[in-house]
Structure 1
């Protein structure tokens, strides 16, 4: 007799919002999502790697274009985590097609995936623009407060053990502000963007569903967020070379995270 049990499903009650059921998941699920994402990447590798290379080049160009300005380079590098869910809509689109056993589309069709829910996806993009501008200003303030007159002229001057030891207060403050903002954006985007692409729901419903899914599964979602951050860090540390594979892998895996966390229609 099978001992397998279905995960518990909770139905949040929120005034004037029809939220879907949210599953309670285990610590094994993030590894399952990564494995499923790798399988989708293998099945859709021509398109996935094409977009992976494009986004890796975009990240490389932005970060290295601002390399001589520490606050801007750091804001863009860490800000990559904030915009990644929006860029990954092409991989959600591909995983959705694979899930329904549809053939892969033409090369540029995934770029039009936003047409599934243009108003809500547009609002999400505006929110990301506001967050990135705010984070760039916060980075500038922290650099001015802690590194003004320190002689650091570029990001390479700061990325040394000696510089980190000399500017511990700056590192701690930067990690504290960045960590709070990253956790907030992660909780609002981990489910919302795949949901907006997949269902005809409004912007607010998707955000609240994502937040509730994160709150209900907070320890597991912390693990999932840490895995994403570590893999993105590996991609950045390899001068964005590994990002060409890591980014589509995480994009596909994020689709499976959404499907695992939110009850199906």
Structure 2
């Protein structure tokens, strides 16, 4: 509740000063996220489903073999779609197409390139990513917020100093930042996409990709309302 000595509006005796404080930090990412899409196609529904189940199990076994390097692993949408014969009457199925999507979050970036390459080497498997990010509990968020508050206080003092007076009291502090961490530039939001079609002969193990982490920008913004001691104008 606002006291009579500090009303929520400016008066000659208690001038109101509203400022914005901002902070922008550039930090290393904490997690890398990749998406794995497995596909199976065939004329028989059961055979297609069995192929998809086998490929899903192979991909999961590979991901789990990296132990604690994979912090989170989840299965997304599973689809099995009949594709009808074009330009034909009736419901004659031409083929079945099944897909399943996996999402993995890694904290060991040294293993990321090897794992992504091995996943992409699986038959009818597509890999998208990586997307670099911070944990919601990352201390970088707290640091950015503190810097934004300090920036608001510093700005208020500078405006008051320009009037040969000082800041008296804080009336309100509002967190006005929107959005989360973002990659360093627009180019960094692009993803690497690679896949391998089914093949009769098994190739040799591919050379692992060298995936360099992209630094993350963390933004914080606050709006602060102060009262000032009345200046002598």
- Structure with greater strand percent: 2
TM-score, reference length from structure 1: 0.22
- Structure with greater helix percent: 1
Q: Between Structure 1 and Structure 2, whose CA radius of gyration is higher? A: 2
